Structure 1
């Protein structure tokens, strides 16, 4: 029975990774966890992402119902993105990834110093 449960969990993890795969999607979701943002602000927030890549990733997140896109009635027209209610279900995971990343960075830096 445990093997089946493990396989189910592995499948669920694979499904999650298929949606969040790539270098940018988790960063985009993390940036949108606290505020809705305009396209240009998102691009400034996420170092190294091109406009084309950001556009593609946002479209994919929109297809997966994690992000909504709103065209603002401004001159020139601008677009704002925010997490959907469903997208916000990832917030705890993003926060846990950030906490782990901070701890990991500290551990690696600490371990490097003890080796030298």
Structure 2
């Protein structure tokens, strides 16, 4: 699987992490909170850990979690979220972009 394919394959887990983080904050979830929620998911932690274990630079699993959330944000910016296009809204915060699920998804 290509690097991009691997990242896109994790989008369902990122979407779930956004939903989980939003339940905790009752609003928008920051990049950091999404990363925390992603790492709390056993499947995501396993898959990101597998990827980290193959990294020649020995980057930690947290780096890979941060990277996938940043990639999700980049795909949002260019309008290439695939099945998740129109499902989320975002706002700019001091630390970066924050997300939440749209109440009425745009399609």
TM-score normalized by structure 2? 0.44
Bigger helix share: 1
If you compute each CA radius of gyration, which structure gives the higher value, 1 or 2? 1
